Chain A
Amino acid sequence: MSTVGALLLGLPLAAATLIGILHRRLSTRTAGTLAFAMAATCFGLAVAAFTHLRGLPEDARHVAATFWSFLELGRGDAALTLDVGVWLDPLSVTWALFITGVGSLIFLYSISYMEHEAGGARYFACLCLFLFSMLTLVLGKNLFLTFLGWEGVGLCSYLLIGFEYGKETAAQAGRKAFLVNRIGDVGFLLGMFWTWKLFGTLEHGELTPKLAAGLAAGIALPPLLALCYFVGACGKSAQLPLFVWLPDAMAGPTPVSALIHAATMVTAGIYLLCRLSSLFVAADWALDVVAFTGAATALFAGLIALRQRDIKRVLAYSTVSQLGYMFLACGLGAFASSAFHVVTHAFFKALLFLGSGAVIHALHGEQDLWKMGGLKHHLPKTAFAMRIGAFALAGIAPFAGFFSKDEILGVAFARAYAGDPACWVLWGAGVLTAALTAFYSARMITLCFDGSSRLDAHSHPHEAPAPMAIPLNVLAVLSLVGGIGLGFEALHWLPLHHWLAPTLAPLDLPPLPGALLWGLMTLAFLIAVLFWRIGAKWYSGDCEPARAAELTFPRFAGALAGRFFVDEIYGALIVRPLRFLAALALQFDVRVVDGAARGLGQFAALVGTGVRIVQNGTVQRYAFWMVAGAIALLWLALG
């Protein structure tokens, strides 16, 4: 297995280096084919790892492999040992499977998508580097390697968002993404420092036993420690208040949005929470913070998604909102449900992004929903696939998103039912968000594909070529069956949950009675269908109901369209004061600190000038001072 692990990390790195060095000699197609072959091989390797683990007894499903020793410092309880290696267990392999699986499809899609762009080979080099970083993040055998991947994916995201670096907005968005992520990274770093101080290890395999031993010995785990990691997760997974970078990140090419900003990288935060689930469960109120942040983010982003014009922005905010659901699930202690939603979301959100990419591709870069419409006649296959994705997103049975989302809502309800009144709020927020999701999904599909065309007259959209269509079809199938195939709570069919169970903190919650479960499912289904219908109705034709609603609540509608002015508020509250502080520091440095040093020099010069007056070369003056000095000496000697 250690070879498999080594190849899983080595192949993407080798491909990235190779394409990176040769990027000027390789055509987009060659580079893309190479990259796709690599990604597909990695998927095969991940499957091999999966089957190997399946063959092991349930409590021994983990394989550690060390490649080389990174460093060994200190002695005794201050010893710091870090190895480079992989840690294969159900959690990491699950992530590796969908990263390489969805990743290969997006690589394939990119070959056609990027064919006519300049610098296609460079794009694939970055994509391979991203795959390497992402796999390091999930497969790394300690938190240090996870962090290495963590920063690596951030870096690739920076490079890929700013891919069209000539565009000011793209360069700006890339930088913003990197910086906001770095805020989270500082949290992650502090968490590692603290973990090492408390437990003396950063190894995934050792942390949980040491934590259990420490808890048994009566060590109180500081909730702040868990919150450090939580801040890191918030940055990477775009949660309140650090979500602002993700919508801007849509400046990157659409396949990048699908891979990095929907399916894989943004779920790294949930991976971290799952990886440290035993720590979070032990850290008192830390999970409550996670749950409420998740619910608030889901609702907040869901509201903003209602009135975005840019199709990619709608999807971006819906991603933020869905990530909020996953955080909510983690916060409720249902880590397996969260992972379930991660997987289904990877399927349908990648599908939606790739579909939107096909639309944008067909319209030569147009992203404004109000300039689309009626596209189902021109792009029937894409429209069909997108509709499946949107149904999955909206949580309509039997599509994938329904099962995972309903499970999260079910857990929230069960917690409330078991006597935690605060969970009613969480459940309410979740249900409300589900309604919003159905609404904006319907709005997007209706505006894009139904109704009459609002296209430019000279635009002739056509279906995407086969390499773009194949991934869409595969993802559409996965969005259809991915949910029911992996888990259906009411029927006690939970293969993913059982598979992940040895690596996650168990959910300590009595199951709901079967009838209640079915009832909740029906409710969720009805809400989704109802709001889909409303959304479709509001935005079909000349959108009369939508306009009427906007006119009734103009300020609210304005706030939604303005994305609650979060960017402006951050600008006024954080960025500008910080800039002012920097300018102030500069003035202080020049005037006060350096001024003091220069003042000292000028003082010395002044003394010199003062003394020089005496030394003016007049002999009479010298004689006078001599006599004066002699008299003074005499007076001193006598007196």
Chain B
Amino acid sequence: MNDPLLVLLIGGPLAAALLLALLPGLRPEPARLLTLLVTLATFAASLPLLATDAGGGMTHGFDAPWIAEFGIRFSLGVDGIAAPLVVLTTLLMPLVVLASYGHVHDRVRQYGVLLLAMEAGMIGVFAAQDLVLFYVFFEMSLVPLYLLIGVYGGARRTYAALKFFLFTVAGSLPLLLAILWLVQRAGSADLAVLKQLPLAPGEQGWLFAAFAAAFCVKVPLVPLHTWLPDAHVEAPTGGSVILAGVTLKMGTYGLLRFCLPLFPDASVRHAPLLLALAVIGILYGALLAWAQKDLKKIIAYSSVSHLGFVVLGLFAVQTTAASGAVLQMVNHGLSTGALFLLIGMIYERAHTRQLADFGGLARTMPRFAVCLVLATLSSIGVPGLNGFVGEFLILIGTWRDHPVAAGCASVGVLLGAIYMLGLVKGLLFGPIVHPKTATWRDLNSRELLLLAPLFALMFAIGFAPKALLDRIEPPVQRMLEAPRLVQERR
């Protein structure tokens, strides 16, 4: 009955991280190679997760007693929501390692330790079926990222790392309290048991608030977003990719996996507030992105805007919208991951990230130009690429019950085009600005290779999303069952 695959996916990177940590004499390049191989193997091993379909139920379940006294179990499993996110994580990790060849030259071994530990934590977050276990993984992924930003980051890295840490911890302490309360009430931390637990309205209210606070900081939802731009700007490329690609999704994943099914009454009651914040986030984030001069900040604020779409889709409490939201989590990981990788590549050459320093790169770096345009088109939701499908589903689903919110959010589609095309124009078109532009060589084959899988997936999802959506929809329907019932009762 117990399938060891998920244990392997978490334990493998963790063991490799320990191994690397215990080998202080290892030279940088073997260490990097080891990291790369482990992440690649993890990716390969994670692919079967996508192949199995259980009509919305959990597959690859693993269950063992852990702290039996309190009903806490070591329980893992994935469904159609978690599996794509796990595979997204395992896909991004080798790319991050490959990208590190360009910019991480000191403490390479430790970099690998942090990446692998983080990978274990992130997979654990998406696979945990026990609330306490989830919390452990949730926090476990935080520390390596803190160090990644703090040690390998830019000039203001300590400030950014501390800010990131404090924001997240401030969010997750109420979460811990709420989890302890729930476990003590139910005598079990099993999600399936907790779903059946009858909760008084007031109780649901504060529990929902505690859960939502932790997740909304991670998302991040306006006004809790100010840690994100700082963290992104200071983080090394790999850190930014993981942060945008996976860490933010933990927030939206948590909202879908825990808030909506466990506290349906409170979710429905507070949905208007979250919808409003999501719409504000979409528009406000887009405006802020437009006003930025630093490439990474533009993408960071665009994440605020895009994740606003995801929250919108989730709290529209509508299957189409929520399925689109899950798809958009994956999409955002692909497109923003690609954008951060590309900006990292240009930074390695130019050592600046100011938009005003660039111009005319289309002539000197045509490959880079094509890649950047593609990633941009995916990000602003041009049909034929992945981003559009997600946005379309979110908006069309939201429109059914909340036309005003969907209408306002649609304006975000327009604003997204404004700032992203501004970025493209500033970098690629017009006259050459930087005197050294000619010395920057175009992308090499390593860089093209690491971008290729992202672009392939962008097109695949853009042209035929059905396979993925068929997987996503049934579990999404399960998550929305309880809140839908509440809605109908009203």
Interface residues of A (CB under 8 A from B): 68-74, 78, 80, 84, 144, 147-148, 150-152, 155, 158, 162, 165-166, 168, 170-172, 175, 178-179, 182-183, 185-186, 189-190, 192-194, 196-197, 579, 581-583, 585-586, 589, 593-594, 596-597, 601
Asked whether A69 and B466 contact (CB < 8 A) given A166-B363, A166-B429, A582-B290, the answer is yes
Distance in angstroms between the alpha carbons of A529 and B318 in the assembled complex: 62
Partner of B414, one of A148, A155, A182, A594: A182
Whether the pair A186, B413 counts as a contact (CB closer than 8 A) is: yes
Asked whether A589 and B410 contact (CB < 8 A) given A78-B319, A148-B383, A582-B288, the answer is no
Whether the pair A594, B226 counts as a contact (CB closer than 8 A) is: yes
Asked whether A179 and B421 contact (CB < 8 A) given A78-B319, A582-B287, A582-B290, the answer is yes
Whether the pair A73, B319 counts as a contact (CB closer than 8 A) is: yes
Whether the pair A193, B396 counts as a contact (CB closer than 8 A) is: yes
Asked whether A179 and B400 contact (CB < 8 A) given A155-B377, A166-B430, A168-B430, the answer is no
Q: Does B135 contact A (CB under 8 A)?
A: no
Whether the pair A73, B411 counts as a contact (CB closer than 8 A) is: no
Distance in angstroms between the alpha carbons of A155 and B421 in the assembled complex: 11
Whether the pair B469, A593 counts as a contact (CB closer than 8 A) is: no
Distance in angstroms between the alpha carbons of A197 and B428 in the assembled complex: 41
Q: Chain A residues with Cβ under 8 A from B465's Cβ?
A: 70-71
Interface of B is mostly: helix
Asked whether A190 and B407 contact (CB < 8 A) given A72-B470, A78-B319, A179-B414, the answer is yes
Asked whether A152 and B383 contact (CB < 8 A) given A73-B323, A74-B320, A597-B226, the answer is yes
Considering the complex, give the chain B residue whose CB is closest to the CB of A150.
B383
A-B contact count (CB 8 A): 135
Distance in angstroms between the alpha carbons of A585 and B466 in the assembled complex: 39
Q: Determine how close the nearest CB of chain B comes to the CB of A227; give it in whole angstroms.
A: 13
Asked whether A593 and B223 contact (CB < 8 A) given A80-B320, A581-B287, the answer is yes
Q: Does B186 contact A (CB under 8 A)?
A: no
Asked whether A186 and B410 contact (CB < 8 A) given A80-B320, A151-B382, A166-B363, the answer is yes
20 extra interface residue pairs, beta carbon distance < 8 Å, beyond A78-B400, A190-B410:
A70-B466, A71-B393, A78-B319, A165-B429, A165-B430, A166-B360, A168-B430, A178-B417, A179-B417, A179-B421, A182-B413, A182-B417, A183-B414, A189-B410, A189-B413, A581-B287, A582-B291, A585-B287, A593-B223, A593-B226
Which interface residue of A155, A192, A597 has the most chain B CB atoms within 10 A?
Answer: A597
Considering the complex, give the chain A residue whose CB is closest to the CB of B429.
A171
In the A-B complex, the 6 residue pairs with the smallest Cβ-Cβ separation, listed nearest first, are A171-B429, A193-B399, A594-B226, A148-B383, A586-B291, A582-B291
Could you give 7 example pairs across A and B, Cβ below 8 Å?
A68-B466, A71-B389, A151-B384, A162-B429, A168-B429, A178-B417, A196-B399
Q: Determine how close the nearest CB of chain B comes to the CB of A181; give it in whole angstroms.
A: 9
Give residues of chain B (455-469) contacting chain A, Cβ–Cβ below 8 Å: 463-466, 469
Q: Chain B residues with Cβ under 8 A from A69's Cβ?
A: 466
Whether the pair B291, A165 counts as a contact (CB closer than 8 A) is: no
Partner of A197, one of B222, B400, B473: B400
Partner of A74, one of B319, B422, B425: B319
Give residues of chain B (313-345) contacting chain A, Cβ–Cβ below 8 Å: 318-320, 323
Give residues of chain B (390-428) contacting chain A, Cβ–Cβ below 8 Å: 392-393, 395-396, 399-400, 403, 406-407, 410-411, 413-414, 417-418, 421-422, 425, 428
Distance in angstroms between the alpha carbons of A537 and B400 in the assembled complex: 61
Whether the pair A189, B395 counts as a contact (CB closer than 8 A) is: yes
Considering the complex, give the chain A residue whose CB is closest to the CB of B399.
A193
Whether the pair A597, B466 counts as a contact (CB closer than 8 A) is: no
Q: Determine how close the nearest CB of chain B comes to the CB of A371; give it in whole angstroms.
A: 26
Whether the pair A73, B469 counts as a contact (CB closer than 8 A) is: yes
Asked whether A166 and B320 contact (CB < 8 A) given A71-B465, A182-B414, the answer is no
Partner of B466, one of A71, A78, A579: A71
Q: Chain A residues with Cβ under 8 A from B418's Cβ?
A: 179
Distance in angstroms between the alpha carbons of A496 and B413 in the assembled complex: 39
Q: Determine how close the nearest CB of chain A comes to the CB of B121; give it in whole angstroms.
A: 25
Asked whether A597 and B167 contact (CB < 8 A) given A73-B393, A178-B421, A589-B226, the answer is yes
Distance in angstroms between the alpha carbons of A33 and B392 in the assembled complex: 38
Q: Does B371 contact A (CB under 8 A)?
A: no
Distance in angstroms between the alpha carbons of A71 and B396 in the assembled complex: 14
Q: Chain B residues with Cβ under 8 A from A581's Cβ?
A: 287
Q: Does B431 contact A (CB under 8 A)?
A: yes
Distance in angstroms between the alpha carbons of A175 and B383 in the assembled complex: 17
Whether the pair B417, A73 counts as a contact (CB closer than 8 A) is: no
Distance in angstroms between the alpha carbons of A583 and B293 in the assembled complex: 11
Q: Chain B residues with Cβ under 8 A from A73's Cβ?
A: 319-320, 323, 393, 469, 473
Q: Does B362 contact A (CB under 8 A)?
A: yes
Q: Chain A residues with Cβ under 8 A from B392's Cβ?
A: 144, 189
Which interface residue of B167, B425, B469 has the most chain A CB atoms within 10 A?
Answer: B425
Distance in angstroms between the alpha carbons of A539 and B360 in the assembled complex: 42
Distance in angstroms between the alpha carbons of A166 and B363 in the assembled complex: 8
Q: Does B284 contact A (CB under 8 A)?
A: yes
Q: Does B166 contact A (CB under 8 A)?
A: yes
Distance in angstroms between the alpha carbons of A182 and B419 in the assembled complex: 13
Q: Chain A residues with Cβ under 8 A from B429's Cβ?
A: 162, 165-166, 168, 170-171
Q: Chain A residues with Cβ under 8 A from B395's Cβ?
A: 189, 193
Instruction: Map CB proximity to A onto B20-42 as digits: 1 under 8 Å, 0 otherwise.
Output: 00000000000000000000000
Distance in angstroms between the alpha carbons of A162 and B421 in the assembled complex: 12
Q: Chain B residues with Cβ under 8 A from A147's Cβ?
A: 383
Q: Determine how close the nearest CB of chain A comes to the CB of B142; give it in whole angstroms.
A: 18
Q: Chain A residues with Cβ under 8 A from B414's Cβ?
A: 179, 182-183, 185-186
Q: Chain B residues with Cβ under 8 A from A585's Cβ?
A: 284, 287-288, 291
Whether the pair A589, B288 counts as a contact (CB closer than 8 A) is: yes
Instruction: Map CB proximity to A onto B360-393 as digits: 1 under 8 Å, 0 otherwise.
Output: 1011000000000000010000111000110011
Considering the complex, give the chain A residue whose CB is closest to the CB of B361.
A165
Distance in angstroms between the alpha carbons of A178 and B428 in the assembled complex: 16
Distance in angstroms between the alpha carbons of A145 and B191 in the assembled complex: 41
Whether the pair A193, B406 counts as a contact (CB closer than 8 A) is: yes
Whether the pair A166, B406 counts as a contact (CB closer than 8 A) is: no
Give residues of chain B (218-246) contacting chain A, Cβ–Cβ below 8 Å: 222-223, 225-227
Q: Chain B residues with Cβ under 8 A from A80's Cβ?
A: 320, 393, 396
Whether the pair B319, A601 counts as a contact (CB closer than 8 A) is: no
Q: Chain A residues with Cβ under 8 A from B403's Cβ?
A: 193-194
Whether the pair B288, A165 counts as a contact (CB closer than 8 A) is: no
Considering the complex, give the chain B residue whose CB is closest to the CB of A159.
B373
Asked whether A78 and B413 contact (CB < 8 A) given A148-B383, A168-B431, the answer is no
Q: Determine how close the nearest CB of chain B comes to the CB of A118; give it in whole angstroms.
A: 9
Q: Determine how close the nearest CB of chain A comes to the CB of B176; give it in whole angstroms.
A: 20
Which interface residue of B223, B287, B464 has the most chain A CB atoms within 10 A?
Answer: B287
Q: Chain B residues with Cβ under 8 A from A582's Cβ?
A: 287-288, 290-291
Distance in angstroms between the alpha carbons of A596 and B167 in the assembled complex: 12
Partner of A165, one of B362, B396, B406, B466: B362
Asked whether A601 and B291 contact (CB < 8 A) given A73-B323, A165-B429, A189-B413, the answer is no
Asked whether A194 and B399 contact (CB < 8 A) given A71-B465, A162-B429, the answer is yes
Q: Chain A residues with Cβ under 8 A from B226's Cβ?
A: 589, 593-594, 597
Partner of A175, one of B163, B167, B421, B431: B421
Q: Chain B residues with Cβ under 8 A from A583's Cβ?
A: 291
Q: Determine how close the nearest CB of chain B comes to the CB of A516; give it in whole angstroms.
A: 46
Q: Determine how close the nearest CB of chain B comes to the CB of A336; give it in whole angstroms.
A: 30
Q: Determine how close the nearest CB of chain B comes to the CB of A160; give it in whole angstroms.
A: 13
Distance in angstroms between the alpha carbons of A172 and B399 in the assembled complex: 34
Distance in angstroms between the alpha carbons of A586 and B286 in the assembled complex: 11
Q: Determine how close the nearest CB of chain A comes to the CB of B171; give it in whole angstroms.
A: 12
Q: Chain B residues with Cβ under 8 A from A197's Cβ?
A: 399-400
Distance in angstroms between the alpha carbons of A147 and B395 in the assembled complex: 15
Instruction: Map CB proximity to A onto B290-323 as digits: 1 under 8 Å, 0 otherwise.
Output: 1110000000000000000000000000111001
Q: Determine how close the nearest CB of chain A comes to the CB of B272; give it in whole angstroms.
A: 19
Partner of B469, one of A71, A179, A194, A601: A71
Q: Chain A residues with Cβ under 8 A from B470's Cβ?
A: 72
